Amino acid sequence: MSKAVIAGYVRSPFHFAGKGALTKVRPDDLSATVIKGLLEKTGVKPEDIEDLVLGCAFPEGEQGLNVARLIAMIAGLPQSVAGATLNRFCGSSMQAIHMAAGAIAMGSGQAFICAGIESMSRVPMMGFNPMPNPALADKIKGAYMSMGETAENVAKRYQISRKEQEEFAVRSHRLATAARQAGKFTDEIIPIAAGKENVVSDGCIREETSMEALAGLKPAFDEKGSVTAGTSSPLTDGASACLVTSEDYAKANGLKVLARIKSSAVVGCAPEIMGIGPVAATERALKRAGLTIKDIDIIELNEAFSSQAIACMRDLKIDVERTNLDGGAIALGHPLGATGARITGKAAALLKRESKQFALATQCIGGGQGIATILEAA
Amino acid sequence: MTIAKACVVGAGVMGSGIAAQIANAGVPVLLLDIVPKGAADRSAIAKGAIDKLLKADPAPLMSRAAAKLITPGNIEDDLEQLADVDWIVEAIIERVDLKQDLYRKLDAKRKKGSIVSSNTSTILLAQLIAGLPDSLAADFCITHFFNPPRYMRLLEVVGGAKTRADAVKEISAFGDVMLGKAIVHAKDTPGFVANRIGVYWMQAAVTAALDLGLTVEEADAIMGRPIGAPKTGIFGLLDLVGLDLMPHVDQSMAASLPANDLYVKLRRDWPLLNKMIADGYTGRKGKGGFYRLNTEGGKRVKESIDLKTGTYAPSTTARLESADAAKGGLKVLVSHKDKGGQYAWSVLSRLLTYAASLVPQIADNVVEVDQAMKTGFNFKRGPFEMIDQMGAAWFADRLRAEKMPVPALLDSAAKAGGFYKVDGGRLNYFGTDGAYHPVERGEGVLLLSDIKLTVKPILKNGSASLWDIGDGVACLEFHSKMNALDQDSLGLLKQALDHVGKKMKALVIHNEAENFSVGANVGLALFAANVALWPMIEDLISQGQAVMKAMKYAPFPVVAAPSGMALGGGCETVLHAGAVQAHAETYIGLVEVGVGVVPGWGGCKEMLVRNQPGPRDPKGPMPPVAQAFETISLAKVAKSAAEAKELKFLRATDNISMNRDRLLADAKARALKMLADGYQPPKPPELRLPGSAGKTGLNLAVHGFALQGKALPHDVVVSDALAEVLSGGKTDHTEMVNEDHVTKLERAAFMKLVKTEGTLARMEHMLTTGKPLRN
């Protein structure tokens, strides 16, 4: 049985929803451009691709129908390439990678595009017609709880001070700024045409941010709370894509392999503290890989909020120095459905760049879940 | 020629404000200024001015769409664009040489026959065109706007000896119909009309206060509402306009008027004013002026200056019997023996004498002068209307008794019986020829106040009247206190619908008060709630719903013609009219949550109907509900009729009149047009509402706002009731409901809320303070 490998990773520039450079770009067009970029960059034969698996957290409006199939058409993929849209909220496109790895393990395909998309400008969070189940809303308060409120709950439960959250946010911006200045994103970013403009660079990173600037912000979700817009990931437009193939296929076709997928896991947790989802998911994935956290050299821990990222690092005893080397979602942005493929692809790329052995990509998921992937050097 | 494109040169406060008002009228306008030295962007000044327009409060622009009609540029690169400009307004610095240089540049590029006007307030037209070609002089006039141009109604138009008569006519018509201004035809004399008299008033008010030893509080207590001037009085007004402006205005007036002019004789140097300006006390824009807020020691203490010593002390409330007595009229005020009465007489005797001595020197007749003071200085009455209120003969006699001069015009008007007279159902004014002449209203102007002089109401009660405005059209007028709606208002509306249905062709709902209606009478509801007269409250809701429904489905056109505030029940009245002809300055909104209730006369229902998605909007049952919820729960009030369209208080098909004086005629014409087009009442809509899932969704959002501290505890209660109504109660989105289903929910929600302590506290607070309670 051949192992699944990540043989390519790209993304669009990430921009603020509603006011950023990608506001007017349809998500299907955005994703198609990124996928075309992936094909070009990896040189994979399009006709060999089994399926386009696309994660999206609010698959309606321009992200509606089976948008994966439509994106395949826009991107000009051969008709034989299938398409499936899947939703595990923020974990959607990491789940796409897990699905591909599972299919490869079963011998159900050689090459997969695992992509993610979210235009938070054009499809609102909660969707156009939020219609929660009244009985469930009454019974389980966390079921429909806003993400900000869960971040406050985590901050309270783990007693994470506002200052600590802000230090983490400043770190994220600092690392992202340094990475951009060093040209470390040029490899992964596919330029996007937005009207007359060619968008080549990220729009959410605040190079000038400081502890003083963050200290001046009002709490964003709870007037008595500690979580601010500065310690939350912004609403973002963006797309990402990874090429996942069997190791044999990659070798036979001369693809540049970034990492091998070693194990994966998903797990549910209390919805009102959904931010700690990565803890159980990571423990489970580590166990399946026969590793401990000390073995992990590179960590991509999604920064939905400073508070939950810090809580997860504390519980998992994660070394911050190994985490989010080029910054995280607080600085880069968090286009929900696109983040999973970004951090998994990024972890794979970092493993290669830093010549390390093991990497972890993990994230929390609204509604109370965690998802994790362990990678190893190929 | 119609004015299809305009250009304003000079992007200062006045220039950009004029450009904004032209854009508000839907006319594209070029805004030009000089190229700043060394600037990367050569049009930076005009661009900066547009940015400021978008941020200024009160807003100079009526909509964001209007902002897009203003194109920024500069006078070096963009003069070629004048080729298709019909009207160029100059609003640059008040220097003849610079203005003339500019005129020459403009003249070289402008379209033949285009009108060029100056917004000067201090330079005579004759000086401005001296030495310029006759072809330019023929197209040149003065258009003097008042600040802020959107909100001040006065536009003084001055033509010169060489100006084409039709140029003045065109600009006047454009200013009137398109810009909504009250046009005053001024003669080419210093200060024109309003400033000539208004500045004299300010000087007289200051001088008399100093001479009679009044404090600033005492002076303002008399020089405001009691004489019919804005409530700021005199010193408060100086603080508002800026103290540093006064020496300029004074010097300009003194320099341009002959030595024997009463202003020149009255004016004097005022060391305190100069010292205040030098010390940075330039008024509200500076550290303060005659009043200031002292924030030393962490407290905000309002202080006033001592006019003798120039030191500040905490402000006190002036206690003057005369100020209260002024409710009995100007004659009572100026006859009062206390120093307030003496002060009022001292100022008014001079002011009104001065005004009477200037006709026909500054304007052809007294009507123009009265109009100028009412619309340029926000006086309740013009000088000649003030004289008439006291009695022209009484006023002239007292002047004589005090050995003061009596101008000839005043003398003859006093003998004839005053400056105005109603004769044969028409208002007449006393002309300089010694005869009375009808006050001309101009084509397309119809005033209810004029109609009232000719006929008796068809129906009338304490809160409303129905008038015959001709051609089979009736006009329903609200006239209760602040036009708050009560059972009588609703009752007369119902009677009016019956009457028009049987005997007339169409109904217009309009009144000439400052506000169309501030909403339902909260006092009444509170009173009934306090004595638990629940059936009475429910009856008022049911009655309102029934009347609104009858109006919406009346078999004849009903046109609402609001101006000013149309809030709560006033808004619901507008929402249920078959068509709306709104004054551009209409401020409409459903503000019921401010007193702890939901709109109960079909406002919730109507907002659901109006927010039904168009072909390009997201589908599904929630978007209209979420939109209506946002508008009502935040008590959004549109800041213009244009914005009311954005918020869907007005339909795309509803019309806007820029000039308030044209509103009634426009509304009547609209009603007649609807009749001619074969009016059919609307078909009752059916609504697909989300039911309890929608309510849960809205409440989740409100929960978030409550956590953020944006929604207070009682907001959550009111929002819950509103969510119940807007989501359709116990319906399911697979079913359709009718309007009555929603109004029934409105009624239930209203009754539920009015029984809560939080709501009663809000009502009581509103009634006692005039402001919403945050609880």
Beta-sheet pairing, B6-9 with B579-583: unpaired
Nearest residue of B to residue A126 by CA position? B697
Q: Would you state the torsion angle of the CA atoms of residues B661, B664, B666, B670, taken in this order, to the nearest 10 degrees?
A: 170
The answer, yes or no, to whether ipTM is higher than 0.90 is no
The Cα of B627 is separated from the nearest Cα of chain A by a number of Å equal to 11
- What is d(CA A44, CA A52) in angstroms, rounded to the nearest whole number? 13
> H helices within B417-486, ranges in order?
448-454
- Helix, strand, coil percentages for chain A (3-state, nearest 5): 40, 25, 35
Output the furthest CA–CA distance in chain A (Å, rounded): 59
A134/B contact by beta carbon, under 8 A: yes
Q: What is the mean pLDDT of residues A17-39?
A: 97
Neighbours of B655 (CB within 10 A): 17
* Model pLDDT, residue B640: 98
Q: What is the mean pLDDT of residues A234-245?
A: 98
Percent of chain A with pLDDT over 90: 97
Burial class, B112, CB count within 10 angstroms (exposed 0-12 / middle 13-18 / buried 19+) = exposed
3-state secondary structure B529-588: HHCCCHHHHHHHHHHHHHHHHHHHCCCCCEEECCCEEEECHHHHHHHCCCEEEEECCEEE
Q: What is the mean pLDDT of each run of 10 residues along chain B (775 residues)?
A: 93 96 98 93 96 94 95 96 97 95 96 96 94 96 96 97 95 97 97 96 95 95 95 94 90 92 92 92 90 87 93 92 93 95 97 97 97 96 97 97 96 96 92 95 93 94 97 97 94 98 98 96 89 91 96 98 97 98 98 97 97 82 94 97 97 97 98 97 95 95 95 97 97 94 97 96 93 92
* Model pLDDT, residue B107: 96
- Mind listing the pLDDT tens digit for each residue in A72-90? 999 999 999 999 999 999 9
The two tokens of residue A305 are 């909020």
- Helix, strand, coil percentages for chain B (3-state, nearest 5): 50, 15, 35
- What is d(CA B588, CA B630) in angstroms, rounded to the nearest whole number? 15
The DSSP code for A233 is P
3-state secondary structure B240-255: HHCCCHHHHHHHHHHH
Q: Are B570 and B485 in contact, with CB atoms under 8 Å apart?
A: yes
- What is d(CA B612, CA A308) in angstroms, rounded to the nearest whole number? 40
The DSSP code for B729 is S
- What is d(CA B151, CA B775) in angstroms, rounded to the nearest whole number? 34
- What is d(CA A324, CA A345) in angstroms, rounded to the nearest whole number? 13
Contact B694 A149 (CB under 8 A): no
Nearest residue of B to residue A150 by CA position? B704
Query: Which of A130, A134, A223 has its CB closest to that of B622?
Result: A130
Output the furthest CA–CA distance in chain B (Å, rounded): 86
B613/A contact by beta carbon, under 8 A: no
Burial class, B449, CB count within 10 angstroms (exposed 0-12 / middle 13-18 / buried 19+) = exposed
Q: How far is CA A164 from each of CA A231, A310, A311, B551, rounded to the nearest angstrom?
A: 10, 8, 11, 62
Please give the backbone phi and psi of residue B342, each rounded to the nearest 5 degrees, phi first: -65, -40
- What is d(CA B651, CA A200) in angstroms, rounded to the nearest whole number? 43
Contact A129 B623 (CB under 8 A): yes
Residues from chain B that touch A144, judged by Cβ atoms under 8 A, are 696, 700
- What is d(CA B617, CA A124) in angstroms, rounded to the nearest whole number? 13
B438/A contact by beta carbon, under 8 A: no
Residues from chain A that touch B704, judged by Cβ atoms under 8 A, are 146, 148-149, 221
Nearest residue of A to residue B707 by CA position? A222
Nearest residue of B to residue A227 by CA position? B708
Element (H, E) at B289: none
In Å, how far from its chain's centre is CA B30?
26
Q: Are A145 and A136 in contact, with CB atoms under 8 Å apart?
A: no
- What is d(CA B57, CA B150) in angstroms, rounded to the nearest whole number? 12
Contact A131 B623 (CB under 8 A): no
The DSSP code for B81 is G
Confidence of residue A366 (pLDDT cuts 50, 70, 90): very high
Nearest in space to B192 (alpha carbons), one of B264, B256, B138, B132: B256
Does A1 score more than 60 pLDDT?
A: no
Contact A222 B708 (CB under 8 A): yes
Neighbours of B1 (CB within 10 A): 12
pTM score, two decimals? 0.89
Percent of chain B with pLDDT over 90: 91
Q: How far is CA B76 from each of CA B12, B46, B116, B486, B701, rounded to the nearest angstrom?
A: 17, 13, 18, 61, 53
Name, in order, each residue with C-beta under 8 angstroms of B118's C-beta and a sequence gap of 6 or more.
B89, B90, B91, B99, B125, B128, B140, B142, B143
The Cα of B739 is separated from the nearest Cα of chain A by a number of Å equal to 22
The DSSP code for B175 is I
- What is d(CA B493, CA A262) in angstroms, rounded to the nearest whole number? 78
B623/A contact by beta carbon, under 8 A: yes
Contact A128 B619 (CB under 8 A): yes
Query: Which of A130, A220, A225 has its CB closest to that of B697?
Result: A130
Query: Which of A132, A149, A224 has its CB closest to that of B697?
Result: A132
Residue type, B471: D
- What is d(CA B197, CA B32) in angstroms, rounded to the nearest whole number? 32
**A312 catalytic residue (yes or no):** no
Element (H, E) at B47: helix B44-55
The Cα of A131 is separated from the nearest Cα of chain B by a number of Å equal to 5
- Mind listing the pLDDT tens digit for each residue in A126-159? 898 999 999 999 999 999 999 999 999 999 999 9
The Cα of B453 is separated from the nearest Cα of chain A by a number of Å equal to 56
Interface test with B, best of A123, A128, A152 (most B CBs within 10 A): A128
Give the start-end residues of each E strand in B137-289: 140-145, 154-159, 182-185
